[in-house]
Amino acid sequence: MTKKEKIQYIQTELDKLYPNPPIPLDHYNEYTLLIAVLLSAQSTDKKVNEITPELFKVADTPKKMIALSVEQIKEYIKQIGLSNTKAKNIYNLSQILVNKYDGKVPNTFEELEELPGVGHKTASVVMSQAFGFPAFPVDTHIHRLMKLWKLTSGKNVEQTEKDAKRLFPEEKWNKLHLQIIYYGREYSPARGRNEEKDFITKTINSK
């Protein structure tokens, strides 16, 4: 398969499997999406979705969040990895949103990435899923699959993101990154990957 044929095949198969992929993190607005994505670093979406309902019940806006103490925030998220740091970041970024942005989540990469605990991937998810801006957040599933599909030799997620953006059409990015994540979880998990089940990888590497 040529690279172009691979790209077409991947898109076609993923569209069949996941025509309308939902955002895997439960949220109600831009702010709760931002907090959920921040919490998901070094944790699973499933775990985040288990703990956020209680937190968001009391604090689904920056103003309500800073009415809590860092310790109280930590109590809600203690089952998540790095809960100490994340509780401080959530409190501090909420304070900035209230003071600097009138309680709203900014909609530029630069402003988002200046917030405590918000890296490029988190900003990319918020920009694509909350604001509809073309972005290609690369998580471990996407990084791994892009390498398996021989579409990147990326040593890191930054390089893989550049390659993904270069190869796939921009209008597909926001949907495609979710489709690849779902495919990775269902058909090509990092642990116990079954080569027969992972049919996209098998097909594109055998032709």
Determine whether 139 is an active site residue. Answer: yes
Which residue is catalytic, options 139, 155, 165, 202? 139
Determine whether 102 is an active site residue. Answer: no
* Residues making up the chain, counted from first to last: 207
The set of residues, in sequence order, having a beta carbon less than 8 Å from that of 160 and lying 6+ positions away, is 138, 142, 143, 146, 147, 152, 154
Number of Cβ within 10 Å of residue 205's Cβ equals 14
Cα 82 to Cα 43, 79, 179, distances in angstroms: 9, 9, 28
Answer yes or no: are the C-beta atoms of 123 and 113 closer than 8 Å: yes
Burial, 207: exposed, middle or buried (Cβ in 10 Å; 0-12, 13-18, 19+)? exposed
Structure tokens at 51: 């703990």
The set of residues, in sequence order, having a beta carbon less than 8 Å from that of 49 and lying 6+ positions away, is 24, 25, 26, 36
Which residue is catalytic, options 74, 121, 163, 198? 121
Residues marked as catalytic: 121, 139
